[in-house]
Amino acid sequence: MSQSYAMTAPLTRSSVEAAHRVVAPDIHRTPVLTSSSIDTIASTPQSSESLIGTPWEGQTPASPQLKLFFKCENFQKVGAFKARGAFHALSRLSEEEVKNGVVTHSSGNHAQALAYAARTRGITAYIVMPSISTPSKIAATRGYGANVVFSGSTAAEREVVAKEVIERTGARFIPPYDHPDIILGQGTMALELEEQVKELDTESFKDDSGGRGRGLLDAVISPLGGGGMLSGIATALSGTGTRVFGSEPSFQGGDDGRRGLAEGKRITSVSTLTIADGLRTPLGEINWTVISDKSKVEGVYSVGEEQIKKAMKLLLERLKVWVEPSSCVPLAVVLFDEDFRKECVRLNVRRLGVVLSGGNTTVEAVSKLFGPDE
């Protein structure tokens, strides 16, 4: 869906800082949590037996020494990081531009975020949601006063319905991820994470191999769906020395970002029913320009469904936080992807920020993921 970017700010750290000044009054400064028990698990080599049947069978398991800092966007307004981009995008539009309302398409988190931000400004919101969206996300979006219109599950099907709504109402389209204003808004979490790690780091972290030192992150890893969050974080941290990584579900080709980087071109179509439902969308055009820049994003890694579930269980039981499956993908990569773990050793990544992107799921949905024997 074509957009005009003539009046948008450049994708720079200073633009993210400006965005943060704008949205700070409307969002939560979400907490950063740590867990010594999860640090120990992440720093313990996987058993050779667990690598049987994987690409790393027969290899010596990696031994990274990690201290993890969890940025808990599951505590953000509407329960996910998307509130940042939605508030920033609306702040950039005049009353005239939104007089007929706003419209977007989303599986749930951006839907709720735009509905909430629009209600705050007294703007009518039309939200196109896949009919298979989580019922709680549909109910929450309607609860914020939005008009929900259903579509098929693929990005292409959503866009067709969104176009029909625009033609019928004259509403302004607010992309879920593929727009500079959205990217800059999402990147604000990285600025907070930097500040919070410095505040938390009152005790020295033993680093015998020359890490960056107290208060400084070596790297950040976040989920990757459409790419608004990852490209925002990469923009915010560009030039700081903190490396940035992405993580995706591999189920049914959900790892389009990883595959696109390997092939050297953006993959434009994704059709997956991964449990990480917030990551079912293909990487956006503008997001691709950031994420494919090796100076901004170090790499993207992917994990399977069972690994995502194991990470989710660990976060629920050890960190005591309520998260949706999409939020668990970064930790799953940290725990189970040997290529990533070896990269942490090679690059001396020890202090790692892990983004927990949202917590919009239900007891019923989680119960279906974990049977009585798990």
Strands 147-151 and 172-173: unpaired
Going across the sheet that includes 243-249, the strands are 32-33, 67-72, 351-356, 219-223, 243-249, 299-303
Choice among 67, 71, 77, 82 that is catalytic: 82
Q: Does the annotation mark 107 as catalytic?
A: yes
CB-CB contact of 41 with 335 (8 Å): yes
The yes-or-no answer on residue 94 being catalytic is no
Radius of gyration in angstroms for the set of CA atoms belonging to the chain, rounded to a whole number: 20
Compute the distance between CA of residue 236 and CA of residue 247 in angstroms, rounded to an integer: 18
Q: Which residue has the tokens 């009353």?
A: 95
Out of 35, 107, 151, 247, pick the active-site residue.
Answer: 107
The DSSP code sequence of 6-41 is: TTSPPSSHHHHHHHHHHHGGGS----EE--HHHHHH
Strand partners, 243: 219
61-93 burial code (b ≥16 CB/10 A, e <16): ebebbbbbbbbbbbbbbbbbbbbbbbbbbbebb
What are the E-state strand segments in 82-177? 102-105, 125-130, 147-151, 172-173
Q: Alpha-carbon distance 61 to 158, whole Å?
A: 43
Give the Å distances, CA to CA, from 81 to 98, 264, 306: 23, 29, 24
Within 8 A by CB and 6+ apart from 101, the residues are 118, 123, 124, 125, 126, 169, 170, 171, 172
**Helices (H) then strands (E): counts for the chain:** 15, 10
Residue 102 main-chain phi, psi, to 5 deg? -130, 155
Active site residues: 82, 107
